[in-house]
Amino acid sequence: MNCKSEVKVEPFCKEDLLWSGLRFTVTDEEEFAREQEAAGDRVHLHDGVWWRDMRYGFCQPCFCFRELDHRQARPNLARSPAGYMHPAAAGSPVNSIYRLIVREGMQQYSLQQVESRKKRTAVRAGLSQLDVRPVTNLEDLLGDGYGVYASWRERTAWGTNKSQRSVYEAWITNAFRRPKRTVLGAYQKNKLVAFMLPAAVLNVAFISYIASHTDALPAYPNDALYHAFLCVARQTPGIEMAQMGPVSSKPTLDKFKLQYGSVKEIPSYMWINPAVRVLLGRRMAQRYPWLSKSA
């Protein structure tokens, strides 16, 4: 079926049905926290909420959509000396906005809904050159996958550096072996050239991580993986929204994500230690650009 046809014989085009039957395994908040911990994040349980320790002693809930009243729940002070942030529960104080890039209405997602014709073409071009499927062999990630990570890290210098092979192998092995984790890979002639670590928590699908080899970029692996992720999320019962990450300090990264989603502004509560605000104010703003004061 041609997605641009005015007479729709089927609700989806062929690129939307390549992963029919594949679903993410949905986890609860504690399981998701344990997955983040296995991936190297520091997490802790306090006031009945699982918190993720960010850089500079700043915390947020592991499930970033968890709505809370700061008068009833906050992270352990020893683990959050710089501060914390969370979406505000109805009727509780709001003093900031949490800005995320998401796609809502997941049950209706199709390639035709991607507004950019250029992006629709990129997805088709990617799928014509790549085989996007779940990674079932850890050796793919330990071998070709390391080359993918090293190339991506050299290109972007983004996130904690895991370029040391032993560090990378420990991280990717833990991620691969999580019982409810799916790893999506993009293969070019049976060689892994990109991979994604998605997750599904309650009613939200997440992109926890994505990397592609620089040499494979002409084959549009990132577009192919994003489309596959959104299709599998659509097929997963209960998933209503896909989260692609917070608004970042890299406009080019956000521009790519915004081709598949839009910015969602969530009323939130934020507390930052006044001393830390003075000492690290500018650095905090650069590290957490998704935080903004409410009007």
Q: Residue 100 corresponds to which tokens in the numbers above?
A: 């995320």
For residues 242-267, average pLDDT = 90
Residues 6+ apart with CB under 8 A from 2: 13
Tokens of 17: 């049905």
pLDDT band at residue 11 under the 50/70/90 scheme: confident
Give the pLDDT band (50/70/90) at residue 274. confident
Mean pLDDT, range 40-53, rounded to an integer: 95
- Cα separation, 45 vs 61, in Å, equals 10
52-61 pLDDT, tens digit per residue, is 998 778 999 9
Asked if residue 239 lies in contact with residue 205, where contact means CB atoms within 8 angstroms, the answer is yes
Best CATH choice for the domain 20-24+102-263 from the list 3.30.300.20, 3.40.630.30, 3.40.50.450, 3.30.70.1170: 3.40.630.30
Using pLDDT thresholds of 50, 70 and 90, give the confidence band for residue 43. Answer: very high
Residue 6 has what pLDDT? 42
Question: What pLDDT was estimated at residue 278?
Answer: 64
**How much is the pLDDT for 252?**
79
Q: Which residue has 């959104």 as its token pair?
A: 230
Mean pLDDT of 42-50: 97
Token pair, residue 47, equals 């006031």
Cβ proximity of 269 and 90 under 8 Å: no
What pLDDT does 219 receive? Answer: 98
SS3 98: strand
Task: Specify the pLDDT at position 9.
Answer: 35
Q: For residue range 219-233, what is the model confidence (pLDDT) as tens digits?
A: 999 999 999 999 999
Partners of 104 in beta bridges: 241
Mapping DSSP to helix (H, G, I), strand (E, B) and coil, where does residue 40 land?
A: coil
Radius of gyration of the chain (CA): 20
Instruction: Give the pLDDT confidence of 121-151 residue by residue, as tens digits.
Output: 999 999 999 999 999 999 999 999 999 999 9
The pLDDT, as a whole number, for residue 36 is 87
**What tokens does 270 get?**
């934020």
Q: Which amino acid is at 31?
A: E
Instruction: Name residue 250's amino acid.
Output: K
| Cα separation, 19 vs 110, whole angstroms | 13
β partners of residue 98:
266, 291
Per-residue pLDDT of 278-290, as tens digits, reads: 666 566 555 555 5
Write down the pLDDT at residue 57: 87
Spell out the domain ranges in the chain.
20-24+102-263, 40-98+266-293
